[in-house]
Copies of this chain bind each other. A is one copy, B any other.
Amino acid sequence: MNHVDLLSRLAQPEDSKIVLLVLDGVGDLRTADQPETALEAAGLPNLDDLAERSALGRVVPVTHGVTPGSGPGHLALFGYDPTAPENDIGRGALEALGVGVELGPGDVVARGNFATLDGDGNVTDRRAGRISTEENRRLADKLNAALADAGTGDLRVSIHSGEGHRFVLLIESSAKGDLSPEIEDTDPQETGVEPLPLSAREPGAESTVERLKPVLDTLSGALEDEPQANGFLLRGFETLPKIPTMDELYHLKLGCFAGYPLYRGVAKLCGMELATDDKEVEDLFERVRERWDELDFFFIHVKEADKAGEDGDLTAKVRILERVDEAIPRLLEMLDPERDVLAITGDHSTPAPMKLHSWHPVPLLVHGPYCFVDDEDHFNEITAARGHLGTFPSKELMGLLLGNAGRLHKFGA
């Protein structure tokens, strides 16, 4: 039986809480030049104390050697197989999530470029001279105003600024719910030719194309008088996969405590309420406390460890880990020791020496009444590799947490 189906079939309501604290990119490396990982180099008295009363282990985000993006990394932590085709979130959808577009299942997005066209309507610059993000925002406001004025038929369409010349076109699924993403790019991928006309890749998309054409005409008209960005190109029409949500699957009321758009987007896709847009660990823990009685599952996302890793800045990575350590007692005092479960891990490693996401297994700490108190009393890559939980795929963590929280029936008699 499929792993998620098995867990879902066994899931039962319970009063226990589950806290999943994701330290983005927490895993690090020992190399010749960096003899200690960030977790080893940091002073973490509270996490050490917690480790002494907890079980350690490691999660492998995708499989050995495969480096995940943040989308698959989080989907796996939430219990989904990140490589299953039905959980494949395309780049367009992820970029949309990344700029804060709160996509729902069935919505269609496309990646857009502002572009420069000549008097004949041929593309002269596919990136409109790489306009500034600020200029991009002005244009997006102008376009959204034009759409509001002209109307968009039975569609709901909006433009969302990205960095530089990039934007996202969002077409929200209406009550009719019959949008198709099977639409050809209008980006010709070369200059000296006109943008391609909007066309359906298969018959099922023809109605979407027909309804979208007048909307694109409105957008073109609104840009006509622009000196630089007087046109636009679209590519990568995609829809969000309709995945079963974690509330449907596991009888949980879930809250996302994350300030950055991409993580909020993935959490929303999985059925979580967006409970705050705070970003600092201290604020996130305070928001959790405020919602403690109402929710069952708390996904808390601390971004800075990943950022420091990508900057190759071990000192900054150590500093954010020490801040988490200082704050952690506030989180611990919320837990009912006879019932509740806390997991601390990452969606992937971002080793400072690599300045990139990596494939390395990520340290995991699980604390709960039946977690198995193992022999380790520090929380780092070395102790985690020796810990009682062993090393297993990230997608299996959700089952472990549900089991520890008494939220799974016995399988079979």
Q: Mark A368-405, 1 if CB is under 8 A from B, else 0.
A: 01101111000001100110111110001111111110
Q: Are A64 and B385 in contact, CB atoms less than 8 angstroms apart?
A: no
Bound: A151/B7 CA distance, A: 47
How many of these chains are in the complex? Answer: 2
- Residues from chain B with Cβ under 8 Å of A83 in the complex: 1, 6, 411
- Whether A68 is near chain B, meaning CB under 8 Å from some CB there, is yes
Of B30, B361, B397, the residue contacting A373 (CB under 8 A) is B30
Within 8 A of B (CB), among A1-32: 1, 3, 6-7, 10, 29-32
Bound: A359/B6 CA distance, A: 14
A54 → chain B, closest Cβ, in Å?
A: 11
Bound: A162/B361 CA distance, A: 47
Q: Are A1 and B413 in contact, CB atoms less than 8 angstroms apart?
A: no
Q: Are B400 and A64 in contact, CB atoms less than 8 angstroms apart?
A: yes
Bound: A227/B243 CA distance, A: 57
Q: Are B370 and A31 in contact, CB atoms less than 8 angstroms apart?
A: yes
The answer to whether A404 and B65 touch (CB under 8 A), given A94-B412, A357-B410, is yes
A33 → chain B, closest Cβ, in Å?
A: 10
How many A residues have CB within 8 A of the partner chain?
Answer: 71
Q: Mark A344-380, 1 if CB is under 8 A from B, else 0.
A: 0000000101101111110000000110111100000
A10 → chain B, closest Cβ, in Å?
A: 7
Q: Which of A84-92, A123-131, A209-217, A270-278 contacts B (4 or more CB under 8 A)?
A: A84-92
Q: A7-B66, A10-B66, A65-B399 are in contact. List 18 more A-B contacts (CB 8 A).
A: A1-B83, A1-B85, A6-B63, A6-B66, A32-B53, A64-B396, A65-B396, A65-B408, A67-B408, A69-B412, A82-B411, A88-B412, A89-B412, A94-B412, A95-B413, A351-B370, A381-B388, A386-B386
Top 6 A-B residue pairs of the complex, sorted by shortest distance between their CB atoms: A65-B403, A65-B399, A69-B412, A72-B412, A65-B400, A64-B400
